Amino acid sequence: QVQLVESGGGLVQAGDSLRLSCTASGLTFSRYNIGWFRQNPGSERQFVAAIRPSGGSTYYSNSVKGRFTISRDNDKNTVFLQMNSLTWLNTAVYYCAEALSKAEYSGYYSSEQGYDYWGQGTQVTVSS
């Protein structure tokens, strides 16, 4: 079955960097868009970044643009989220999710309803 596993979270200080990984199995990875979302208790899940199957197109929320970089290695079935200049506002559980590649993806990449399978999440805590 499809499985997504996030890793790389942890406790860091403001200004530090982290690189999250999302490794997939049970699917033809190169056919899928991958998105990163984050969530805090009592809050809705928020879009962070997404990437098309080839890696040629990427999308970011305005709050992380310029600080976060999403990339992928299709040979390793893995998507990365490099997070730089972290602030306490970036504290959350980070989830990756997959969506089969479709032409319309550019219209719904930031919507969690557009994704089919989700990982269990990895906690990122940024101390001020």
Phi, psi values for residue 31, rounded to 5°: -100, 0
pLDDT at 68: 98
Do 71 and 55 touch, CB atoms closer than 8 A?
yes
Task: Please give the DSSP secondary-structure letter assigned to residue 110.
Answer: T
pLDDT at 128: 86
Do 7 and 73 touch, CB atoms closer than 8 A?
no
- Mean of all residue pLDDT scores within the chain: 96
What is the band of 61 on the pLDDT scale with cuts at 50, 70, 90? very high
Mean pLDDT, to the nearest integer, of 41-63?
Answer: 96
**Is the pLDDT score of 101 beyond 90?**
no
Task: Look up residue 17 and give its two tokens.
Answer: 């960097």
Task: Look up residue 27 and give its two tokens.
Answer: 């699917």
pLDDT at 60: 98
What order of strands is seen across the sheet that includes strand 3-7? 3-7, 18-25, 78-83, 68-73
Which amino acid belongs to residue 98? E
